[in-house]
Amino acid sequence: MRIRPGGVADVDSVLALMDEAVEWMAARGQAGQWGSEPISHRLSFVERLEGWQRAGGLRIAESDDGEAVGACRRRGPAVRA
């Protein structure tokens, strides 16, 4: 597994991961955190995610076979070595 910067194409992957998590939690009666509506249907979250990607803050956890398996947002300025 590796962590890499997220690109434009990763936005849909992250939304799919979030939708899957919402469905899983709601099916177990745990809709309190994110509700039961798919994240991909929430324009405010989609716009926020796209903003993180444009600003360079989106990070993708990628499996050895290149599949996106998680994501996070990096805050603050990029650190360059």
pLDDT tens digits, one per residue of 41-70: 999 999 999 999 999 999 999 999 999 999
Q: What percent of the chain has a predicted confidence (pLDDT) above 70?
A: 93
The whole-number pLDDT of residue 77 equals 59
pTM of the model: 0.83
| Pair of tokens at residue 12 | 């849909």
Mean pLDDT of the chain: 91
Find the CATH number of the domain harbouring 17: 3.40.630.30
Query: What's the pLDDT score for residue 78?
Result: 58
Instruction: Give the distance from CA 55 to its chain's centroid.
Output: 14
Give residue 75's pLDDT: 84
Instruction: Report the candidate in 64, 50, 65 with the shortest Cα–Cα distance to residue 10.
Output: 50
Residue 12 structural domain: 2-73
Domain count, the chain: 1
| Residue 81 included in any domain | no
